[in-house]
Structure 1
Amino acid sequence: FEMATIGGARALGLDKEIGSLETGKRADLITINLDVANAVPLFDPYSQVVYALKGGNVLDVVVNGKEVVREHRAVTLDQAAIMAKAREYGLSVAQSVKQKR
């Protein structure tokens, strides 16, 4: 566990800025939903995160102390605008492929 946190930061010479939860340090955090089938049985939380859990288990994300995902939804992005643009691009690609046939 230490090598993935403060030990890794120390190896990079960044332990004064990151690697542990302390006042003044940058913080990246996630909360994980463990009330799902792929989280059971939970004997070793570290192994469970590495080997069994998926991105869908992540509920909340804080990057550099700022909340960016809350309950699976991005709070810093306009998801409706992004989805509209994705649909637009998808139609454009489909039309382009259709014309080349």
Structure 2
Amino acid sequence: MAGREFEFSLFGTKCRVRGPLIGDREVEEIQKYLEATFNLVLGPGPAKTVASNLMKDKALLPIILKISWDYLKLKKQLEENTREIENRVDEALRLAEFLIERGGE
């Protein structure tokens, strides 16, 4: 997989892996996301076991990292788009209120 090699950690289990071309902040974001997801879906005990096994799989881990990073990017884009739509709706409502008020004159 193209990208860069970096240290990755889940629940304290560390390994070096080649993953997406991302910075340290993004690596931490992926770590937090995967730990939270594993805990939510599997529970704390099994989550650590699954994470430990995943960290040993040099073929699967880069794929999981890429999918996780793509998901987080899409989630951020969706949040930005939602805020933009909300802002435009607010602007349209303000304009409608203004026009209604002016229509009464």
TM-score band (shorter)? under 0.3
Hey, which of these two has a bigger chunk of helix by percent? Answer: 2
Please report the TM-score for the alignment, with normalisation by the length of structure 2: 0.24
Which structure has the higher relative contact order (CA within 8 Å, separation 6+)?
Answer: 2
Structure of larger gyration radius: 2
Please report the TM-score for the alignment, with normalisation by the length of structure 1: 0.25
